[in-house]
Amino acid sequence: MLLKAVKISLQVSLFGTFVGSIVSILSVAFVLGVKEISLLREAVSSCSLEIGDICFSFSPLIFLIVSALLIIIVKRTMKITRYHGPADVILSAHSPKEKLDPKTGFLSTFSAFVSASGGASVGQYGPLVHLGGTIGSLIDLRSSKVLTKDTLIGCGVAAAISAGFNSPIGGIIFAHEAILRHFSFKAIAPIAVSSVVSATLTNKFFPSGILFQNASSGSAMLPSVSLSLILGPVCAIIAVFFMRSLLFLQREASKISENEIYRILIAAVTVGVIGGLVPEVLGLGGSTISDILDDNFSVQFLVIILFLKLFVTVICLGMGFFGGVYSPALVLGAAIGGAFTYLGNSLGVMDLGDTLILAAMAALSASVIGAPIASIVIIFELTHSYDLAFVAIICVAGSCLISSLVFGHSFFDKQLLNRDFKISRGRTDILLSEYDVASLLGKNSFLHFQVGATKAEVLNMFKENPDYTEGYIVDIKKVLKGKVKVNNLLDSSTSNYVVDEFPLFLRNTDTVSTAISKASNFIGESIPIVSSTGELIGVITEADLFSEYLDIQDKISQIERD
């Protein structure tokens, strides 16, 4: 037993180290690559056109058009129907049947790299999370199943977040909170190893962290907490508007143009023109956040950044560019927090520091990605300030409470819901949705009668089969025409009998989850199953549905116990 435990521990450490190392290296390469190309883009930017005191540069427009064309070429050449993101990672972690395609995963990351490098207002963390999940899934396909697929996906996700924020604890919690959505002893060890290894290697390249190099934590607690009580709901409102606008444009983009080339070029030109005037809204937004933390912008300009960043992000992600929503949410949060800091200063509170800025960043991003605890922990690890984390808790709690009630758990959950995956119902509903009721057939026999059968014939059939209290009326092609109950045959005063012409029935393609929902108010012996042509092919009972539900629950309990 001891040798077995040692062997498993070594395997867990090996897998965790391997995943963490790969994801860390790729994350650093992604960030460094985007940074270098962005510096090149900014270096060639010049005042091409002066309109009064306003300077316009054509550089963002040129880079965005080139990026747009490259994305379309890659997508069509490699035959990618759609790019994948964190929502696909969540679904794959919960569903044994849903696989993360390595080709689509790596090309999605490449397209996000091209988008961000060209100046599109997209995020880096979503693509990196998906890349980490894809690597974990790929290792699962090639490994000896020492760890489950969802655990290896969690390792990759934790490593990506850990590398992005130099926050190993935050990475561990994010993987469990946003992706796996449960804690288990078997999963936490490899995920922890992967996250710590990733942070260690990343810290070698970015000793001060990738994003926050200059965050301070000195603040006045009482006014900070007071303002955060208002700031949280404001962040929720902006987050909900941001998510709804993005989903709306993604759904309605084809109405603007059926041609995806035209759509992405429209986005490139629109964002290029805006970016030529206000470059702070372009790209990943790291430098913009640093300038906000350094108090380099007026409150009026912060409001401009807030609305323009929201607008260009929705245009980019809704019209063909690819990337995450996390980094834009951080910029939006920073702008709101900066504006509230000015508000506090105008009220005579001069020592707010970066507290409200970081708290708003945590709150708005937590509402978008559905990871409030991870967001708070990341803030704590970045600043090493208990006071600042405490303010973030207040702000995050208010924001997530309101956004969850108005919009839902997260942007990713809504994406899955739009694809008819009810992730908010948990792993049980997903697994039940993967099996159709046809898989339950063959367990039960049933009585059926031809259309026009007399009352005496039907009653005689029930007498010969006393175990049945219901029978089904079918035509010559076995198409279901109704249901007969034995109780309706006992009235001897008439030669006719009552037929339920509209009984509850299920299609053979209906999922078990759908069947349970439809049968919630059912009273009877059995439920008929019909084909697409209406042919009666069998029946199931409520007991069949209950048994399937309990089997799935046992599987999930085993996963969560392990």
- Do 44 and 59 belong together in one domain? yes
Distance (Å) of CA 470 to CA 132, 448, 464, 466, 536: 54, 9, 13, 10, 14
C-beta atoms surrounding 236 within 10 Å: 25
- Kindly report, residue by residue over 84-111, the tens digit of the pLDDT: 888 888 888 887 778 888 888 889 999 9
Sheet strand arrangement including 480-485:
447-450, 470-474, 480-485
| pLDDT tens, residue by residue, 54-67 | 777 788 888 999 99
Range of the domain at 66: 2-205
Cβ atoms within 10 A of the Cβ of 213, count? 12
Measured between alpha carbons, how far is 460 from 496 in angstroms, rounded to an integer?
14
Whether residue 210 lies inside any domain: the answer is: no
Ranges 143-157, 300-314, 369-383, 482-496: which has the least confidence = 482-496
Name the more confident of 394 and 210.
394
Query: 211 pLDDT exceeds 70?
Result: no
The last residue of one of the domains, among 422, 453, 474, is: 422
Percentage of residues in the chain having pLDDT higher than 90: 22
Q: Strand pairing partners for 181?
A: none
| Residue 149 counted as domain residue | yes
User: DSSP letters along 272-317, please?
Assistant: HHHHHH-GGGSSS-HHHHHHHHTT-S-HHHHHHHHHHHHHHHHHHH
Instruction: Tell whether the model's pLDDT for residue 213 goes beyond 50.
Output: no
CATH of the domain at 154: 1.10.3080.10
What number is the average pLDDT over the span 58-81? 89
562 assigned to some structural domain = no
Highest mean pLDDT (candidates 201-205, 309-313, 356-360, 490-494)? 309-313
pTM, full prediction: 0.82
Residue bearing the bigger pLDDT, 493 or 353: 353
Same domain, 296 and 373: yes
Mean pLDDT of 432-450: 83
Q: Tell me the pLDDT tens digit for each residue of 503-559.
A: 889 998 888 888 888 888 888 888 899 998 889 988 888 888 888 888 877 777 766
Tally of residues, the chain? 562
HSE of 154, CA atoms in CB hemisphere, 13 A:
30
Same domain, 439 and 322: no
Q: What is the domain count for the chain?
A: 3
Last residue of a domain, one of 388, 404, 422: 422
User: Which of 38-42, 216-220, 327-331, 369-373 has the weakest average pLDDT?
Assistant: 216-220
Same domain, 396 and 468: no
More confident residue, 149 or 399: 399
| Judgement on whether residues 387 and 442 belong to the same structural domain of the protein | no
Question: Which of 205, 236, 255 finishes a domain?
Answer: 205
- 3: its two tokens: 């040798």
Q: Is residue 213 part of a domain?
A: no
Write out the two tokens for 395: 């702000």
Taking CA 65 as the corner, what is the angle to CA 60 and CA 66, rounded to the nearest 5 degrees?
100
Strand partners, 54: 51
* pLDDT at site 351: 73
Instruction: Clarify whether residues 128 and 269 are in a common domain.
Output: no
Contact between 130 and 86 under an 8 Å Cβ cutoff? The reply is yes
DSSP 124-149: SHHHHHHHHHHHHHHHHHHS-SSS-H
How high is the pLDDT of residue 218? 54
What percent of the chain clears pLDDT 70, i.e. is strictly above it?
A: 91
Asked if 192 and 333 sit in the same domain, the reply is no
Does one domain contain both 272 and 361?
yes
User: 113 falls in which pLDDT band (50, 70, 90)?
Assistant: very high
The mean per-residue pLDDT over the stretch 130-157 comes to 83
Residue 68 contacts residue 264 (beta carbons within 8 Å): yes
372 confidence band (pLDDT: 50, 70, 90): very high
- With respect to residue 211, please indicate whether it lies within any of the assigned structural domains: no
pLDDT tens string 174-188: 988 888 887 777 778
Q: Taking 90 as the threshold, does the pLDDT of residue 307 lie above it?
A: yes
Q: Is residue 501 part of a domain?
A: yes
CATH number at residue 455: 3.10.580.10
The answer to whether the CB of 361 falls within 8 A of the CB of 334 is: yes
Taking the C-alpha atoms of residue 178 and residue 277, their distance in angstroms, rounded to an integer, is: 37
Q: Which of 215, 132, 198, 214 is nearest to 162 (CA)?
A: 198
In whole angstroms, what is the distance from residue 308 CA to residue 321 CA? 17
Region of 450 please: left (phi>0), alpha (psi -120 to 50) or beta: beta
Same domain, 452 and 523: yes
Q: Is residue 212 part of a domain?
A: no
